[in-house]
Chain A
Amino acid sequence: MELLGHYNYWVFAILLMVGFYASMAKSNFIKKLIGLTIFQAAVFLLYITMSKIDGGTAPIIQAGAENAVYSNPLPQVLILTAIVVGISTTALGLGIIVRIKEEYGSIEEHEVQEMDRS
């Protein structure tokens, strides 16, 4: 049980690196951007994992439940805003990809680089 309590962190490590691999090793720009969103989601998972507390509940204070234990609201606030900022920056990335496709006719990094060289 003690060991399985770290499972969330292991998944964080794997997702982080799967996202990193997709954004670095893949050549397709859309794939890179999806990799970046996976990388982001891994960080979200790390933060939310830290907010969880044993026997706790969502941080919404109920009248008449004075002894209730609440999970940590701060990481939730940070991640909640980060998700919306994340979609905005992803949209910006997609906009750049669409413009690259129009100008170069390709969304593969190695092809675009070849065109730049020639």
Chain B
Amino acid sequence: MTLLTGIFLLTLVVITAIAIVQTKNLFVAVMLSGVFSLLMAANFLILDSPDVALTEAAVGAGISTVLFLAALSLTAEHERDFKPSRIAGLVVLVTIGVVIYATFDQPRLGDPMAAPQQHVAPWYLANTPPLIDVPNVVTAVLASFRGYDTLGEVFVVLTAGIGVLFLLSGRPSKTAKAPPPPFHGPVEGLRHYLIPRVVGRLLIPFIFLFGLYVQFHGDFGPGGGFQAGAIIAASVILYALLEGEPQALRVIPMRFLKILAVGGAVLYATVGVFGMLLGGNFLDYNVLSGDPVAGQHLGILLVEIGVGVTVTGVLLSVFFAFATRGKM
């Protein structure tokens, strides 16, 4: 039954992907890529990965669509006619054939003897309860066992955010062919539309609350800093869409968002350095408290807050950089 549901969802995913490539209307392509992400999230859920599904739904179907739409409003809504070369299509078809032929050597879906199930995964599953004692093994691996890796990812997110702010905070050059249109009057958002206003105002506090729940319940259930950051950012983006960006920036100034983005990454690194000062290794949480397991709990909590704060800060400053380009 799960297999059939999976096949159904994946077939829809393929159809959506082909439709995205085929359509000339970029607005349609972006909305379809939102559908694509949501289908992918449902598929991750039936593959027993609720953490990944939550992230994909919040990031892929939510934030990514908003960013693409913001970019479309600054560029163009239609693709020009262009004849792609036939060789590209041929190469693609041949490669699909070769890769599918190669998959017959792969272990089938869910094979308990498959190589990925053998080496380090059983160790993580067996040692998370005694060493770290949080129910969600994904959180334990993410924040503690592979804490270095996650620290690196957080800094990649921060660096990408800095890159976007650099790109979009400068003025266009004097020879620019299509500078952003001049600003006429304040941006009103959707304040004058009854249904978005009422529904949006009702939803925003609950989305925010759910984000906090995902953040702090991430040790026990699906969730954690990455998902929570995306969900909290989504609630603020909804506010900005309803009330207009100037109003949203009055509530949460850009300065504050930049402090959030940097502060979260610094908090993560500080926890690591603090472990060193207390006599442990970098990102060793055992020494943070008298009891090693309590130390792990504290370390994971702080590190996840760092991740959540950075992701919120970066996603929101990126959104505002796009949304206010040429308007302020």
Contact = CB atoms under 8 A, between A and B. Distances in A.
B96 to A, nearest CB: 5
Nearest to A81: B153
B56 interface: yes
B190 interface: no
Contact of B79 (A21, A31, A98, A103): A31
B198 interface: no
Interface stretch (B162-170, B200-208, B247-255, B276-284): B162-170
Given A4-B7, A30-B29, A41-B36, A58 B48 contact: yes
Given A25-B85, A61-B128, A94-B68, A85 B40 contact: no
Most chain A Cβ neighbours within 10 Å, of B10, B72, B156:
B10
Contacts of A82: 153
A106 B177 CA distance: 9
Interface stretch (B109-117, B264-272, B289-297): B109-117
Chain A interface size, under 10 / 10 to 19 / 20 to 34 / 35 or more? 35 or more
Nearest to B104: A6
Interface of chain B: mostly helix, strand, loop or mixed = helix
Contact of A88 (B20, B103, B314): B314
B60 A83 contact: yes
A85 B76 contact: no
Contacts of B222: 58, 60
Interface in B9-25: 10-11, 13-14, 17-18, 20-21
Contact of A87 (B59, B95, B117, B140): B59
A51 B7 CA distance: 17
B108 A97 contact: no
B286 interface: no
Contact of B103 (A4, A10, A106, A111): A10
Interface in A60-80: 60-62, 69-77, 79-80
B96 A13 contact: yes
A12 B142 CA distance: 25
Contacts of B88: 21, 24-25
A49 B47 contact: yes
Contacts of B21: 18, 21-22, 26, 31, 35
Nearest to A59: B137
Interface string B58-88: 0110011001101110111001101011001
B26 A31 contact: yes
Contacts of A72: 116-117, 121
Nearest to B224: A80
Interface in B166-182: 167-168, 172-173, 175-180
B110 to A, nearest CB: 4
A41 B37 contact: yes
Contacts of B52: 44, 48, 76, 79-80, 83
B11 to A, nearest CB: 8
For the complex of A and B, the 5 pairs showing the least CB-CB separation, nearest first, are A5-B108, A105-B177, A88-B160, A13-B99, A25-B84
Given A25-B85, A38-B17, 12 more contacts: A10-B103, A11-B10, A41-B60, A44-B56, A51-B49, A52-B109, A61-B129, A62-B135, A73-B141, A80-B226, A83-B55, A88-B314
9 contacts: A28-B26, A48-B52, A52-B109, A73-B121, A85-B153, A88-B160, A95-B164, A95-B321, A106-B177
